[in-house]
Amino acid sequence: MLVDDEEDIVLSITTSLEHNGFKVDGFTDPKLALTHFLKGKYSMVIVDIRMPEIGGFELYEKLEEIDKDVKFCFITGFDFNYLALREIYPTLNFGSFIRKPIETDELVKKIRMELG
């Protein structure tokens, strides 16, 4: 699952990942993504940190309540404070952050590493 409020980013990443053998359900609306998320359906969720209405970390919390086994990868074009995030989300894997603009090779490498 890919969730980013920018349609062009969803299209670009979805196309790139599908060309690398992944099946991707892309969403530009985090609320819609939440309604389509089912336990066991996804191995990984790639989510933008800053989105209107439901931010990436809030979506992470909601999705993790549904399926604790799903892996997360966060994408962002902004800086953030790792120490503050560590206090709020102590179990979050901070190796799973990718900065925009996203290079397909880097994203594919991260996904394969996270999924084993």
Return the CA Rg of the chain.
13
99 — pLDDT class (breaks 50, 70, 90): confident
Q: For 45-90, what is each residue's pLDDT tens digit?
A: 999 999 988 999 899 989 999 999 999 998 887 666 665 666 766 6
Which homologous superfamily does the CATH classification assign to the domain defined by 2-100?
Answer: Response regulator (3.40.50.2300)
Annotated domain spans of the chain = 2-100
State pTM to two decimals: 0.88
As a whole-number percent, the residues of the chain with pLDDT over 70 amount to 85
Q: Helix/strand/coil (H, E, C) string of 61-87?
A: HHHHHHCCCCEEEEEECCCCCHHHHHH
* pLDDT for the residue 37: 98
* pLDDT for the residue 98: 83
